[in-house]
Each structure stands twice: as C-alpha cells, then as structure tokens.
Chain A
Amino acid sequence: AQKVTQAQTEISVVEKEDVTLDCVYETRDTTYYLFWYKQPPSGELVFLIRRNSFDEQNEISGRYSWNFQKSTSSFNFTITASQVVDSAVYFCALSEHGSGNTGKLIFGQGTTLQVKP
C-alpha cells in the first residue's frame, strides 16, 4: 500500500540554524514521483520540488536541498540558514505511475516548522 510518513510533527529552530525535514514513503510501484509542498500561515500550497523514482540525484535550490535515497525510501528536505519566512507547514507527497495513473497525490501528515528570530 502507498503511504507517506513525516514523523516530525513540529520542529522549532532559531534563525540561521539548518533544519532537515524527514519524509519516508512506501510504494509497490517501480515508477513514482515525490513532491514537497510548502503551506505558509496564509494557507495556500506552494509547490517546491518534484523528483522521479529513477533519478536519485540530490538537488539544491538556494538554501533548499533535497536528499533522495531509494535504498531507505526517504526524500528528506534540508533548509540551510533558516529564516523566519521559512515558518510553514511542509508536506511531502507521493504519486504513483501505476494504479491507473489517476494523478492522485498521497500526502504525509505535514511537519510544522517554526523559525524563531
């Protein structure tokens, strides 16, 4: 069965600290896609990144980086030198290529990140 687990419910850091948000997924598909979304206090969902199951290269975008490891079924997200504006709920999500290709996103429970000044 497909599942996404974000074990960290809440994380609190002080500005400029690095922080890693964990994401572990389960799927029987060999082709799948992983996503991270950010939900700031205003409530909208902002797409951050997509990763394909056949591409294990890590990715860096400014202060954000993502570590995809198929061997441990993890897709972790690191924010370097965190800022107050990074305070948000972060969701990891999985989409499977099979299962009739419904496009459904399976979301984790979300991790609330609070960055204090």
Chain B
Amino acid sequence: EAQVTQNPRYLITVTGKKLTVTCSQNMNHEYMSWYRQDPGLGLRQIYYSMNVEVTDKGDVPEGYKVSRKEKRNFPLILESPSPNQTSLYFCASSSMSSSNQPQHFGDGTRLSIL
C-alpha cells in the first residue's frame, strides 16, 4: 500500500531535549516536505527536499533541521525544542518536484513541548 509513515504519532517532551520525527515513503517519490499545522493558520511549509541530498527552507524553518540521505526518508530534527514548536506536523511526498502534483501526506505527528 502506498503510504507516507511518520513516527511518533504523539510526543510530549520538555524544552531543550533534542528530538527527531521520522518520515518514510514507499512510493519512490523525489519530492518530500514538512509542514506544521496551527489553529487559524492552516499548514505552513517548514522544509522541503527535491531529491537526495537536496534540501531547502520553506516558510517557517527556524528551529528545525532536516536531512535527505536516502530517497525514502526525510527526518525532521528539533535540536532544542521550545514551546512555540508545539504543533501538529505533517510529512508529505509527491512524484516530482513539480507544483502540479498532489502531495501525499502522512497521518501527522502531534508534538507538545513543555
């Protein structure tokens, strides 16, 4: 089954404790990206990747890092999480680095930073 898998689905942690949210897709997609969803703001892009070893900032990259060492994986790293990073996070992938391809989203990761 074609899917984007995120882990963990839920996490409560404390300020400053490094964490990684993993994202994996099994569709051989070149393009992957991370979004965060906040009430009243919709979803905003954090980082994206056009292909292996190619990553770039989205609209709200501060406080986040990513890596793309393999095509299927695109982890989101919070080196020193802060309460303003409490949010619902989505990983997405699509079949080309093209604006017209619908992105397939994971089920979301709900992060609470205390």
| Residue ranges of A at the interface with B (Cβ–Cβ < 8 Å) | 4, 32-33, 35, 37, 42-45, 47, 50, 52, 91, 93, 95-97, 101-105, 107-110
Cβ–Cβ contact A104 & B59, under 8 A: yes
By beta carbon, the residue of chain A nearest B104 is: A47
Cβ–Cβ contact B102 & A44, under 8 A: no
A31 to chain B: closest CB distance in Å? 8
Q: What is the total number of residues of chain B having a CB less than 8 Å from a CB of chain A? A: 31
Q: Given A102-B48, A107-B43, A108-B42, A50 and B105 touching (CB < 8 A)?
A: no
Task: Give Cα A85–Cα B63 distance, bound, in whole angstroms.
Answer: 37
Cβ–Cβ contact B100 & A43, under 8 A: no
**How many cross-chain pairs have Cβ atoms below 8 Å apart between A and B?**
71
List residues of chain A with CB within 8 A of the CB of B61: none
B18 to chain A: closest CB distance in Å? 25
Determine which of A42, A52, A104, A108 lies in contact with B45 in the assembled complex, contact meaning CB atoms within 8 Å: A104
Task: Give Cα A52–Cα B99 distance, bound, in whole angstroms.
Answer: 10
By beta carbon, the residue of chain A nearest B43 is: A107
Assuming A32-B99, A43-B88, A105-B43, what are 10 further A-B pairs, CB within 8 angstroms? A4-B42, A33-B100, A91-B42, A91-B43, A96-B99, A101-B97, A102-B99, A103-B33, A103-B99, A104-B33
Task: Give Cα A35–Cα B92 distance, bound, in whole angstroms.
Answer: 14
The dominant DSSP class at the B interface is strand
Task: Give Cα A109–Cα B42 distance, bound, in whole angstroms.
Answer: 4
| Residue ranges of B at the interface with A (Cβ–Cβ < 8 Å) | 31, 33, 35, 40-45, 48, 50, 56, 58-59, 88, 90, 92, 94, 97-108, 110
Task: Give Cα A102–Cα B99 distance, bound, in whole angstroms.
Answer: 7
Which 6 A-B pairs have CB atoms at the shortest separation, nearest pair first?
A: A107-B42, A45-B105, A95-B99, A107-B43, A47-B102, A44-B107
B80 to chain A: closest CB distance in Å? 26
Task: Give Cα A33–Cα B102 distance, bound, in whole angstroms.
Answer: 9
